[in-house]
């Protein structure tokens, strides 16, 4: 049994791609998209007809509406391949506007519902800013389930759990990137072997969140994301979900090395941990106090915003 099938015994595997043609070979349960993945997908020659048809069908509508139609068009294609859910992201440029995030999320869900897709099969992705988390609180109460993304800090995870968010996506690889860069730029050494697996800072972040949720009975699902190597994935076997790029899914399929469960809900529920809560001032201070999380959250929003603008330009050019 290859490692991908072994992993599926412990964890729900999610494909991290906007390319629905890649999905079938990995048989994932769910799929996630983001502005960068959708931008990459629409530039593929095979997807040009879908993009052109969608834009033409909604000619004359405001640009943001056409963009949402494109996002949903790709999501609908993905849902023909995966049996579970697709995550579709609200424009990152709205990350600090609760009302605008709510409006965009409701519209995305309405478009899916108009196409015959029920709410159980869609997750609305929102950046885990304070404003985004409060939008998710309202959406969850309305039955619109959310995937809070660009999550780097423990305080973000705690606030998401308190808001009743369905799923969070802590970014393993980007946390790893930051710590490695800090070690190198400060003149220190980065021992790749010593900081691998359970000692990887990104892996440790996800494990801390997972343990906290299970200890306090928080039903929010933890989906590790943004992996740099297979070792980060196997170190989190047992996590609720893991969203994995096609390249790393292929690497898992190519290996038959034994894989063991690393995270266990029953064991985590017995952990000796203090209860934690963050109001808005406490959240903002805790996030500010975490240099890694502050920098990576801002960087992630900026990068997604750039790719959203590029997608806008492509659509306007058709």
Rounded mean pLDDT of 6-30?
Answer: 95
Number of domains in the chain: 1
* Per-residue model confidence as pLDDT tens digits over 119-146: 999 999 999 999 999 999 999 999 999 9
Domain span at residue 266?
A: 3-316
Residues in CB range of 317: below 8 A, 6 or more apart: none
DSSP β-bridge partners for residue 139 = none
The pTM of the full predicted model, rounded to 2 decimals, is 0.97
pLDDT tier, 88 (very low <50, low <70, confident <90, very high otherwise):
very high
d(CA 111, CA 114): 5
The residues annotated as belonging to the active site are 125
Mean pLDDT of the chain: 97
Q: pLDDT for 193-214, tens place per residue?
A: 999 999 999 999 999 999 999 9
- Residue 186: pLDDT band with limits 50, 70, 90: confident
Domain at 295, CATH number = 3.20.20.70
pLDDT tens-digit map of 277-314:
999 999 999 999 999 999 999 999 999 999 999 999 99
Chain segment 253-267, per-residue pLDDT in tens: 999 999 999 999 999
């Amino acid at each position: 049994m290859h490692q991908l099938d072994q992993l599926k015994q412990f964890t729900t595997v999610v494909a991290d791609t906007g390319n629905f043609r890649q999905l079938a070979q990995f048989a994932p349960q769910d799929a996630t998209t983001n502005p960068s993945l959708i931008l990459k997908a629409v530039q593929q020659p095979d997807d040009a007809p879908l993009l052109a048809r969608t834009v033409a069908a909604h000619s004359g509508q405001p640009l943001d509406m056409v963009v949402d139609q494109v996002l949903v068009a790709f999501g609908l294609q993905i849902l023909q391949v995966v049996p579970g859910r697709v995550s579709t992201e609200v424009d990152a440029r709205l990350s600090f506007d609760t009302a605008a995030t709510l409006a965009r999320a409701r519209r995305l869900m309405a478009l899916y519902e108009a196409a015959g897709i029920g709410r159980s099969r869609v997750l609305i992705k929102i950046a885990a800013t304070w404003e985004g988390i409060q939008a998710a609180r309202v959406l969850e109460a309305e039955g619109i389930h959310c995937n809070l993304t660009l999550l780097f800090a423990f305080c973000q995870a705690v606030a998401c759990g308190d808001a009743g968010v369905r799923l969070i996506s802590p970014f393993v690889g980007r946390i790893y990137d930051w710590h490695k860069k800090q070690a190198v730029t400060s003149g220190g050494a980065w021992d790749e072997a010593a900081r691998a697996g359970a000692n990887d800072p990104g892996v440790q972040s996800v494990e801390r969140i997972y343990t906290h949720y299970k200890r306090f009975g928080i039903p929010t699902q933890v989906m590790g994301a943004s992996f740099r190597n297979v070792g980060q994935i196997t170190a989190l076997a047992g996590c609720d979900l893991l969203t994995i790029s096609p390249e790393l899914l292929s690497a898992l399929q190519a290996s038959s090395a034994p894989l063991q469960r690393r995270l266990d809900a029953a064991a985590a529920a017995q952990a000796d941990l203090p209860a934690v809560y963050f109001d808005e001032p406490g959240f903002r201070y805790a996030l500010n106090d975490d240099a890694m999380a502050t920098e990576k959250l801002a960087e992630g929003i900026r990068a997604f915003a750039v790719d959203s603008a590029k997608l806008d330009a492509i659509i306007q050019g058709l």
